[in-house]
Structure 1
């Protein structure tokens, strides 16, 4: 029996990636696509490579009052754009919000799928983590749970590809001429992902994350997130790697590596790579994490969460290899 799927914001990068994954999912059937500027056009007009069975599906103007019969809805809308509308979606329609409006909101499970899968299973409302938290928290979780680092002394240096900014808007920083051959920090001190990272660090460790520092940088590549995280702790490199391997022993999508991970390893996939380097004499632990910002950082983890919600194998529709080169 197929599960009837809708995608809101399908013309954006996150929504388009969700469509690509849903189209190849063994149990999902895409029956509803919605957007704003793209409303009225067919999927094939926006995505010429879409499968023939989906080519004629017309993108509708997003209106939660006139949804067709759906089992699950993916919402990929800019932060600040989904809370009021999704509140009007009937309760029987399960939702995975890829945007930022419901992370740690009342009534919504936080969808950090590789760390807390049991908290997502069977839920009706799941908030997908942001791309930076996906890379950061997967790398930190084994260290925090095992008390190998201090939760109040964490500095995150993050790099992201241009697609992390989304497809919409007219901000010239994200055009080719401005971003090519350029490296730029942004969102200093008050980035939108700070609260969810701090809250999760505190829940994993039982400590206080008041000293968290996070600086993201925009790099001239299309996809990928790399985080280098500086922590205080007396663990060795081997202890960190062993803790991560135990923590993720039965998790399909997290790969613990002896060497520092690279963004290319994850491109086009739902994989998350983590690694560590430590110097006990300096009380220093460096954690590293890599994800594809549109995969594990958005649509890939959303599909993983949907699988957990629907009682499907967690890997359904997500077992494709990364794109290389």
Structure 2
């Protein structure tokens, strides 16, 4: 079965990672690529290592009124730029929006694929989670659902690689001289992923996420997200690990580990690693989540969601091992 696929925003990091995964997907055929500044160039001009079968595909200017016949469209556009245009895409074209415009928007399904796969199957409009929520919520879901921690007053300390800012980052602070050997907190108190995480925490737990604190940091590496999450709860470490093992039993992409996870474990993959450390006497549970921000945090989960809505094996095109070292 060949499913005709398009990517909007293909020259960005998220779109480029989606292209890499689709190029080797057993059922997806990339027939349409669109962008703004890159329009008119061939894929090989932007990605010299692209497979030969895609090298001569010309990047078109993004226009939802001029789409070829497609079955599935991946949109990897900056938050705030896709809502109006994607509303004009024909209803018979399935969409996975990697950007942030449709998370918890009416008519769109929130695509937290490892937690709610049954809600995604058969849908046609999927809002991909952000990179930080992918790490945070995958780690929190088992201990919120059981419940082993309280949903209120959760504190999240997260680190991300520079590629999370997008290609070029839109700001000189993401250049090598500014980023190398530097650690930078940002988005304090008002990060765009806060509402998404708070809403999901409440839906998982049935309680209030009041008091949620989230502080992201840029670290001088290309890929990866590590979220360290401080929660209130009387559970033991083993109870948390056991809850996660049961919650993710049979799930292909979540690894529960007794060791604190490292970002390198997930590089270039759609894997998520979760772990826990708890001290009941201190009423403290520390949950940890690791993903590749371009993999599970963006294009990897997008392909996983696309597999679910297209009725394909969830692991199709995503079986590759992480890059090491």
- Shared fold (TM-score, shorter chain, > 0.5): yes
Pair 1:185-2:185 in alignment:
yes
Q: Distance in 1 between matches of 2:120 and 2:139?
A: 20
Q: Distance in 1 between matches of 2:53 and 2:167?
A: 25
SS across alignment from 2:238? helix
The Cα shift of 1:170 comes to: 3.4
The Cα shift of 1:168 comes to: 4.2
What does residue 249 of structure 2 align with?
249
Does the Cα contact within 8 Å between 2:168 and 2:174 map onto a contact in 1?
Answer: no
Superposed CA offset, 1:109-138 (max 9, x none): 000000000000010100000000000000
Taking structure 2 as the reference length, the TM-score comes to 1.00
What does residue 112 of structure 1 align with?
112
Root-mean-square deviation (Å): 0.5
Q: Distance in 1 between matches of 2:312 and 2:100?
A: 25
Superposed CA offset, 1:178-212 (max 9, x none): 00000000000000000000000000000000110
What does residue 167 of structure 2 align with?
167
What does residue 70 of structure 1 align with?
70
SS across alignment from 1:261? coil
CA 1:61–1:244: 2 relative to 1, 3 Å: same
Superposed CA offset, 1:135-193 (max 9, x none): 00000000000010010120000000000000145301111010000000000000000
Q: Distance in 2 between matches of 1:63 and 1:207?
A: 42
Q: Distance in 2 between matches of 1:266 and 1:156?
A: 20
SS across alignment from 2:105? coil
SS across alignment from 2:96? strand
What does residue 312 of structure 1 align with?
312
More displaced, 138-147 or 168-177?
168-177
What does residue 286 of structure 1 align with?
286
Pair 1:81-2:93 in alignment:
no
The 4+ residue runs of structure 1 with deviation greater than 4 A are none
What does residue 208 of structure 1 align with?
208
Aligned residue pairs total 325
What does residue 321 of structure 1 align with?
321
What does residue 296 of structure 1 align with?
296
Superposed CA offset, 1:224-268 (max 9, x none): 000000000000000000000000001000000000000000000
Q: Distance in 2 between matches of 1:172 and 1:229?
A: 30
Matches within 5 A, 1:16-31: 16-31=16-31
Q: Distance in 2 between matches of 1:111 and 1:316?
A: 17
Q: Distance in 1 between matches of 2:123 and 2:173?
A: 38
What does residue 148 of structure 2 align with?
148
Q: Extract unaligned runs of 5+ from structure 2.
A: none
Q: Distance in 1 between matches of 2:36 and 2:76?
A: 12
Does the Cα contact within 8 Å between 2:154 and 2:232 map onto a contact in 1?
Answer: yes
What does residue 58 of structure 1 align with?
58
Taking structure 1 as the reference length, the TM-score comes to 1.00
What does residue 94 of structure 2 align with?
94
Q: Extract unaligned runs of 5+ from structure 1.
A: none
What does residue 47 of structure 2 align with?
47
Q: Distance in 2 between matches of 1:33 and 1:299?
A: 15
Q: Distance in 2 between matches of 1:173 and 1:100?
A: 22
Matches within 5 A, 1:211-290: 211-290=211-290
Does the Cα contact within 8 Å between 2:149 and 2:234 map onto a contact in 1?
Answer: yes
SS across alignment from 2:296? helix
